[in-house]
Amino acid sequence: MTDENNAKIPLLPPTLPRWWRVLPSLILLITIANIDNLILNDFVEDRYTKYYELNTSSTQNDHELCLNASRTSHNSTPSFLTTTSKYPISTTIPIDKQIQASTARLNVFLSLAATLPAILTSIFLGANCDRIGRRPLIALPYIGKVIRYAILTAVAYYNLSNIWIIILTMLDGLSGTAALSILSSFAYVTDCTNKKSRTSAIVITDVCLSCSRLIPSLTMGFYLQHPHYVQAMIFTFVLSVLGLIFSIFLQPESNLTVQHLNIFQQLKRSEFRPIVKCFQVFFAKRQDHKQRSLLMLVAIHLLIIVMLCGNLAMFYIYLYGAPFCLDSFGVSLNTASQVSATIILTIPFTLTIAKHNDHLGIVVLGCLAFMTQFVLLGTAKHIWALYLAFSIGGVFYVLTPIIRARITKLVEPEEYAVVFILASVFESGGYYAISALTNEIYDLTISFYQGLVYFFLALVGAITIVVISILYFLEHRPTTTTKSSALNE
């Protein structure tokens, strides 16, 4: 028994696959996650519309009710809105704001329920990623999606209580969510590229994550104009099953030491010891101040994730509410404007600048673009301002992946996955915590200024730029060590 898994060593030497071989599994999972965000937000909104006794048969009716309620809210005297409700509803608190507040409150509970399971899974499997390989972490989130949509379909069909939505969110978090697959995928890309080609590959992979929102948003957004939730959930369930099969049997492994093992043998190699060692990567002594640069780059990366998670958490609920009152298809058109801008900018960027330059100033420009999006969203009163905001925000998705590329250039090959564990925690459990915080802020401020939450996110962007500026100063300040050593000689 020379091997702990009794696996046969292959006769042919292992070879690295092409880096883009990870994109099908990753794009499909992120597509499912984006469909999930759209379906769940629309489904919860529709449930609360019915809860407040409003008889609606399409999102167009919801749109009209939202507009009517927002117009009525300008009247400060207490009155009653009858519409199609069974009972009179006081307009002192407009109906749309009651629905939005209830949706935000449920989002807080869902986020808190998934936070701890997602964090624990991300830490355990993320710490073992370099030991067990990349493929198990790509496949496991699909298991969570299969379970999630099996339960969610039952909730929609049998009209079960919200507690089942909370349970399925916990189970999905326990499987690692999409963040676990993102961690493994970027480690996969890093395995299969060299330092010269890595920046372009990481930018393309990151942009693919952003662009994967386009097709599901447009198609599902159009379909959900007439809420057929059961059919949409069954379709997403089938996609999850297909993704699970593909990732287990057809996805190649990029870690050469375990390439000859099947996915179950890879999972058996998991241990608790790597968890203790995983954070040592940030404190290991490195030449030429690389340790300091690594810590600051990771801090910048985490701040960027905070902005991304906050933006995603507020995207649907904010646009569904007054004064925009968009339906799912209207929200999808805004997504399309941002994705289109991202694609248009990606092609020249990856062919020119990304091949030769990873300057921190490029990341600053990306953060400024995202801050501009937040300010425009927080102050927008018309739909055209939304399209402008999201188009400008597309610059962020093209320029900020440079941070990931710079991080991988500071660590050893066996540290590629470990170094992104904190990012994975933020993108999984951290997403839920950030979502809970932003929804709570939205719930507290909706009665007087519902766009205030976006100014908090813009503040995070300002902090990010400050940290980037400090890192740039430290990297380019003149050193006196060379002079002193010359004098000693």
> Confidence class of residue 291 from pLDDT cuts 50, 70 and 90?
confident
pTM of the shown model: 0.73
Polymer length of the chain:
489
Domains of the chain, first to last: 20-477 (1.20.1250.20)
Residue 89: helix, strand or coil by DSSP?
strand
Whether the CB-CB separation of 55 and 95 falls below 8 Å is answered with no
Other CB atoms within a 10 A radius of the CB of residue 267 amount to 18
pLDDT digits (tens, 9 = 90+) for 214-234: 777 777 767 776 677 899 899
Mapping DSSP onto H, E and C, the string for 8-24 reads CCCCCCCCCCCHHHHHH
> Confidence class of residue 340 from pLDDT cuts 50, 70 and 90?
confident
Residue 447: helix, strand or coil by DSSP?
coil
> Confidence class of residue 137 from pLDDT cuts 50, 70 and 90?
very high
Phi/psi of residue 269, each to 5°? -80, -5
C-beta pairs of 219-223 under 8 Å, 24+ apart in sequence:
220/35, 220/38, 220/39, 220/328, 220/332, 221/38, 221/327, 221/328, 221/329, 221/330, 221/331, 221/332, 221/333, 221/335, 222/328, 222/329, 222/332
pLDDT digits (tens, 9 = 90+) for 143-197: 999 999 999 999 999 989 999 999 998 998 888 778 888 888 988 998 898 888 8
Task: Map tokens 């996609």 to a residue.
Answer: 239
Q: Higher model confidence: residue 131 or residue 78?
A: 131
> Confidence class of residue 430 from pLDDT cuts 50, 70 and 90?
low
> Confidence class of residue 101 from pLDDT cuts 50, 70 and 90?
confident
235: exposed, middle or buried (Cβ count in 10 Å: 0-12, 13-18, 19+): middle
For the residues of 331-379, what is the DSSP string, one character each? HHHHHHHHHHHHHHHHHHHHHTHHHH---HHHHHHHHHHHHHHHHHHHH
pLDDT digits (tens, 9 = 90+) for 47-91: 888 777 654 445 555 555 565 555 554 444 433 333 344 334 444
What's the CA gap between 72 and 68, in Å, rounded? Answer: 6
H or E element, residue 392: helix 383-399
> Confidence class of residue 27 from pLDDT cuts 50, 70 and 90?
very high
Phi/psi of residue 54, each to 5°? -100, 120
